[in-house]
Structure 1
Amino acid sequence: MIVWLNGTHGAGKTTTSRLVQQLVPDSRVFDAEKVGETLMDITPVLSPTDNFQHWPPWRPLVVETARHVLDYTGGTLVMPMTVIVEEYWREISAGLARHGIPVHHFVLHADTETLRGRIEGDTDMGPAPSKFRLKYLEPYAEAARTWLHEEAEVVDTTHLTPEQAARRIARDVAAVRARESAP
């Protein structure tokens, strides 16, 4: 099983994923961004882009990496990864479905001003706010309005701590597992 934590930068995916992993038995965190970083290390560069998700190999490599990790480890992968291009989400989710891997898709959401404040206050990426992260606020809002929130369970993190969000997600995952294992 995959627990996919979607949402834009500043929603709390990375922090929440670590906490979900502690609450969901036999789970591991797999950050699909590492697949993108591997592609970014190819020289010469594959093609100029502002986001590795635009490279066609990224999406099937995420699917295949997740599949192989699950084949090796079993259990659950908790995957914190922003995917706000509907075509990309469809490609990834269809690929996982072809392998029979159930995906429980959550979108960690917060209002735009909260997200902006979190991004501007985050010093982990340097002293200045990340322009890369800020530029995705409007595309995320558009995806949320047009398709993304219909595709997932939305967890509004505007007024939740990461611990509260993680407990809610873990409860939902446990409920799904209980329904799936019932006779």
Structure 2
Amino acid sequence: MLLWINGPFGGGKTQTAHEIARRLPGSVICDPENVGYGLHRMLPARLRGDFQDLPVWRQGVHDMLDLVLREHEGPVIAPMTLVDDGYFKEIIGRLREKHDVRHFALLAERETVLKRLNERGLGMGLKWESFAVGKLDHCLERLSRPEFGEHIRTDSVTIPRIADTVAASAGLRLAPNTDSALRHRLRRTWTSVKHIRIG
């Protein structure tokens, strides 16, 4: 089974994916961003744009997820913002022809997402997250459409509860969440630090 966790930048996709993986034995995270960053490193700076616009990224993500879904016995988790209808069909639509794919869009009010982006802005606030802020309204509008369901509202919901909701909808049983508030905060901070991208 593939759990594709969609949402705006700053919507909690990566945190939710790691929470599910932590509490779901045998699951694995396959982050499509890694394909994109690899492609960017191969390209001269002047040719780097949105890597989702590269056909090789879309084909590569499809092929990598198809491979893991065929060869790995446990659930596969892909946290990735994907709001273009055509790209969605090209990757997720094709995977659904061969695999059990569950898609979830994490949604929140604009102010909630801006607050989250500000908190993860490495002391620079929203300036550090200018790309995410610039895409926010477009992402929220697109992802609220029926074709991007199942929708999960996250405004006042903790990451462990979001993970519980995703798993329950997919018919999966997570191990109980035994983190204290402090341990949960430290875990979230470490996950954020590991996913900082420079250049």
Give the TM interval when normalised to the shorter protein.
0.7 to 0.9
Tell me which of 110, 113, 120 is aligned to 1:112. 110
**How many Å apart are 1:26 and its aligned residue?**
2.0
1:23 aligns with 2:20: no
* CA distance 1:54–1:153, shift in 2 (3 Å): same
Give the aligned residue type for 1:136: K
1:161 aligns to what?
158
* Alpha-carbon distance change, 80 to 97 in structure 1, aligned in 2, over 3 angstroms: same
1:31-110 equivalence runs, <5 A: 31-44=31-44, 47-49=47-49, 51-98=50-97, 100-110=98-108
Q: Distance in 1 between matches of 2:79 and 2:45?
A: 25
Deviation of the 1:46 alpha carbon: 8.4
List runs of 5+ in structure 2 lacking aligned partners: 174-199
Task: For residue 47 of structure 1, report the CA deviation from its aligned partner.
Answer: 3.1
Identity %: 30
TM-score (norm 2): 0.79
Residue of structure 1 in register with 2:120 after alignment: 122
Q: Give 1:152's match in structure 2, choosing from 144, 149, 156.
A: 149
Per-residue Cα deviation, 1:126-179 (whole angstroms, up to 9, x for no partner):
63421011111111122034x3x4432111110100011001111112269xxx
How many angstroms does 1:45 deviate by?
5.4
Aligned to 1:180: none
Q: How many residues align?
A: 171
Consecutive unaligned residues of structure 1, counting only runs of 5 or more, are 177-183
- TM-fit CA distance, 1:27: 0.9
Deviation, structure 1 residue 42:
1.0
Distance 1:45 1:65, change over 3 A: farther
Distance of aligned partners of 1:65 and 1:96 in 2 relative to their CA distance in 1, 3 Å threshold: same
Q: Give the aligned partner of residue 143 of structure 1.
A: 142
Change over 3 Å in CA distance of 1:28–1:163 after alignment to 2: same
How far, CA to CA, are the matches of 1:132 and 1:83 in structure 2? 15
Q: Distance in 1 between matches of 2:24 and 2:93?
A: 24
Rounded Cα–Cα distance in structure 2 between residues aligned with 1:43 and 1:60: 17
Deviations 1:65-103 (A, max 9, x none): 1111223322211110000111111111122134x1121
